[in-house]
Amino acid sequence: MAQPVLLRESGFKAVWEIWAPRAEIAPRGWLDATRYRARPASLALSGNSNPAVCGGWQRSAGGIEPGRWYRLTAHYRAEGPQDDALAVLPRLDWSDARGRRAGQPDYAWRVARDGDWRRVTLEAPAPEKAAAVKIQLLLLNAPHTTVWWDDITLEAIPTPAPRLVRVAALNLRPEKSTTAAQNVAAFIAGIEKAVPEKTDIIVLPEGITVVGTGKKYPDVAEAIPGPTTEALGECARKRSAWIVAGIYEREGVAVYNTAVLIDRGGRVAGRYRKVYIPREEMEGGITPGNDYPIFRTDFGWVGLMICWDVQYADPARALALRGAEMILMPIWGGNETLAKARAIENHVWLVSSGYNFATQILGPDGQTLASAPARGQAAVAAIDLTARPYDTWLGELRGRFLKELRLDVRVEPAGALR
């Protein structure tokens, strides 16, 4: 069934207007017939050297139905911003039949390159009592920036189907193994015993090839792919499940504390090398990683963290900014309160499997959905990745967090100020 299109525009005319909280901080806006994506003219905004600039183009669209889902798509080019995410703010501001705000505004934060332009999208349900919406294309905190907008569409879309994912985290700690292979076999046996069939993704702890063996990191380090990923891959194929596990990886003379992601077919789908290396691992010869990759699965986007990473805000934040919906964390031990904080502050699901740390599944609100307090148990939960963390007063939290996060403020270490 065709869905109604409420607005589709390029070649803009004067029906758009400039909005600002105060006239003295409004950006300069004009229709630019020289810069456009489809046909003249685009909607242009300039910070106009105003240090307090805040405002932009807006246009209202009617025919909104409460509870129905809508998609905003818009394209922009920007010159001069220190941080696009902070300076360029497209949003939908819903209103009722009397023109009063209904619910809270929704922020468009998903950005993809589209040639020389960037495409931003937002999918959101209209709040209760919504009858119209203002499409706002704002410029903030960017006195020396110019941005051009073109090809803007607002359309109704079907309600997204739930993306249910069955997640399991295994609590197991081998204690009498003498080899990495024996450990891996014990974890696979633990999966077979404790993890239900038709589980989508299984998380194992950090360092599964070394725990309980008495060996050092270099003794068990291996290439990827290698014997451990082969064994885990066979388990993944058998169960048609994704598997995450912490192992030690050797590349040349470097040994990394690595989390591997195995897909349902048993292939290595990705790896993450632990960025934050504590003193004990440094003294054991571990080399730190230097990136926070995310990985696309058949149910959504996931990111990986390992143990000491949870002590710091930036690993989880980086994964959320890149689009991770769920963070999978093999861990040895650490601060469980900080794990809850990472879920809450980034509005993501967080799954941990540990030895001296809770094996658990946390929701975006930090609440524990499932836990496995005893050895040999698995924490299991079905989660819906389409769920939107929403607060009555604050609105949809993930989009708001990603658009209001300040990454442009540079903080000098204490020693640099002396």
Q: Residue 351's domain is classified under what CATH number?
A: 3.60.110.10
Considering the domain architecture, whether residues 152 and 177 belong to the same structural domain is answered as no
Domain count of the fold of the chain = 2
In terms of Cα–Cα distance, which of 196, 203, 199, 272 is closest to 232? 203
**Tokens, residue 175:** 């204690």
Q: State the CATH number of the domain containing residue 9.
A: 2.60.120.260
Considering the domain architecture, whether residues 142 and 125 belong to the same structural domain is answered as yes
Residue listed under structure tokens 């980086």 = 318
**pLDDT tens sequence for the chain (418 residues):** 677 999 999 999 878 999 999 999 999 999 999 999 988 999 999 999 999 999 999 999 999 999 999 999 999 999 998 888 889 999 999 999 999 999 999 999 999 999 999 999 999 999 999 999 999 999 999 999 999 999 999 999 999 999 999 999 999 999 989 999 999 999 999 999 999 999 999 999 999 999 999 999 999 999 999 999 999 999 999 999 999 999 999 999 999 999 999 999 999 999 999 999 999 999 999 999 999 999 999 999 999 999 999 999 999 999 999 999 999 999 999 999 999 999 999 999 999 999 999 999 999 999 999 999 999 999 999 999 999 898 889 999 999 998 888 888 888 887 655 5
Give the C-alpha separation, 209 to 211, whole Å.
6
Q: What 3-state class would DSSP assign to 180? A: helix
Considering the domain architecture, whether residues 91 and 44 belong to the same structural domain is answered as yes
Query: Is residue 409 a part of any domain in this protein?
Result: no
Considering the domain architecture, whether residues 322 and 212 belong to the same structural domain is answered as yes
**Tokens, residue 46:** 């300039």
DSSP string for residues in 341-403: HHHHHHT-EEEEE-SBS--EEE-TTS-EEEE--STT-EEEEEEETT---EETTTEEHHHHHHH
Amino acid of residue 323: G
Considering the domain architecture, whether residues 110 and 245 belong to the same structural domain is answered as no
- Asked if residues 13 and 40 have their Cβ atoms less than 8 Å apart, the reply is no
Residues in CB range of 125: below 8 A, 6 or more apart: 67, 68, 69, 70, 159
Considering the domain architecture, whether residues 32 and 172 belong to the same structural domain is answered as no
Considering the domain architecture, whether residues 236 and 286 belong to the same structural domain is answered as yes
Give the C-alpha separation, 381 to 377, whole Å.
13
Considering the domain architecture, whether residues 118 and 69 belong to the same structural domain is answered as yes
Query: Is residue 413 a part of any domain in this protein?
Result: no
Its pTM stands at 0.93
Give the C-alpha separation, 139 to 265, whole Å.
46
Domain that holds residue 216: 164-385
Query: Is residue 344 a part of any domain in this protein?
Result: yes
Burial class (CB in 10 A: 0-12, 13-18, 19+), 1: exposed
Residue listed under structure tokens 């598997």 = 243
pLDDT at 86: 85
Could you give the strand order of the β-sheet that contains 360-362, starting from the edge strand earlier in sequence? 294-296, 301-304, 326-330, 349-353, 360-362, 368-371
pLDDT at 417: 55
Considering the domain architecture, whether residues 127 and 15 belong to the same structural domain is answered as yes
